Chain A
Amino acid sequence: MVKEIERAGIPVVHVTNLTKISEGIGSHRILRGNSVLHVFGNPSLPAEQEVKFRKGMVEEALEMLTQAPKEGQHSLVRE
């Protein structure tokens, strides 16, 4: 799905814990999720802090949208 959306010219950040698989299929921008079970969540935090945590992650993803993989690399990966 990532690749077809990218093919249409829309940059995508793929947020997942299975970053190797994502890299293997050729996604360009990959951010490791907090867990397979809660990609954008952190249930160990109190609710208010979890929202902050999530906002931080979304901001990180947004920042990746403005960046490109390093020279000679296919994917930009943030673990």
Chain B
Amino acid sequence: MSERIRVIHYINQFYAGLGGEDTASVGISVREEPVGPGLLLKGLLGDNYEIAATIICGDNYIAENTEEVCGRFLEIIEEYKGQLFIAGPGFNAGRYGLGCAAATAAVTEKLEIPAVTGLYSENPGTDLYKDRAYIIQTENNAAKMRKAMKEMAAFAKRLAEGDFIGDGKKEGFHGSGPAIRIDYSVPASVRGLNMLLDKYYHRSFCTEVIMPNHEDIPLPVLEKPLSEIRLAFVTDGGLVPKGNPDNMVPTNSKYYKSYSFGDAERLEAADYEVSHQGYNNAFVLEDPNRLVPVDAAVALEKEGKIGDVLPSYYTTAGVMTPMDMGKKFGEGIAKGLLDNHVDAAILTST
């Protein structure tokens, strides 16, 4: 039988039994045995694994000196010839979660050994590191330690054994997992075919494209009847006033704008142009209401089917615009809509 795989486990002062907030500033210490939740981990990993060292670090200390502490972790892991790194789980603990995620990312990227942690989706560490490390999705409550550790241990074993790891949604980790190093000396066509073959033969492969993690937003519902709502229009189709007064770019937008159409009953072609290089604008130029249907909405307002229409619309060009930018625009627009007491929006995308 081969030698056991050497596991390094990181926990905080609380789980090490050193105390709570009073000892959160304590520095790094190492014990050559499983400690606290490490005992559970040891049992779950089974006989082919041994916890060679437990790294203990105070939450304040790692949160305030993240880079330095992670550097020290790497040295310790090398010193103990670690072959697998497991952090936490940190559930929804902010500083601990940050520590777990940062350390797991550092080990993944610098030591290139299997590494995994487990955090709740809203832990600040999750958002920061979910595309640089395997962060198993856990509940927000440490009472679920057994369940979380069981999932982490099972995943860690598969990582250590080189098993096929699918995407985060299927495997239950946040985001895209570790970023991969792309060998640009191999042409994209070859890399693509290799990836396809790996997928076909059910071998491990990683996408080179980081997939955005789409979180679920609760379903918003109207709080009043349609006949009382204020409706607003938003578009990523690049409709701007004639002359494009704010020099809105036609691609890779950095901002959005809001333009008033006052008490106009329809958008007149003579007053507008399109700054968007991602579609043939001819039909919209001919009649801007085809993109921002002010004429129809004003008619419905007159008929009493809706309360009123916000007399300005929000616009940007959604071409090659990164998801993060869209998110930023959305936040700003949402604020503008709330300030203007808007109840509902129609958003058109070309």
Contact = CB atoms under 8 A, between A and B. Distances in A.
Interface band, chain B: 35 or more
Contacts of B222: 11, 65-66
B305 to A, nearest CB: 7
A16 B229 CA distance: 22
A58 B309 CA distance: 12
Interface of A: 1-16, 18, 22, 24-26, 28, 33, 35-41, 43, 50-51, 54-55, 57-59, 61-62, 65-66, 68-69, 74
A59 B212 CA distance: 33
A66 B228 CA distance: 13
Contacts, number: 163
B333 interface: yes
Task: Classify the secondary structure of B's interface with A.
Answer: mixed
A9 B222 CA distance: 9
Contact of A65 (B215, B226, B279, B350): B226
A11 B220 contact: yes
18 contacts: A2-B347, A3-B215, A3-B327, A3-B330, A8-B334, A10-B337, A11-B345, A13-B344, A15-B347, A28-B219, A33-B348, A37-B282, A38-B291, A40-B289, A40-B290, A54-B295, A57-B296, A68-B221
A39 B220 contact: no
A62 B144 CA distance: 43
A2 B214 CA distance: 12
A7 B290 contact: no
B237 A39 contact: yes
Given A26-B215, A41-B291, 14 more contacts: A5-B334, A5-B337, A6-B220, A10-B342, A10-B343, A10-B344, A11-B222, A16-B349, A26-B214, A38-B283, A43-B283, A55-B296, A62-B226, A68-B221
A55 B330 contact: no
A36 B237 CA distance: 10
Nearest to A68: B219
Contacts of A16: 348-350
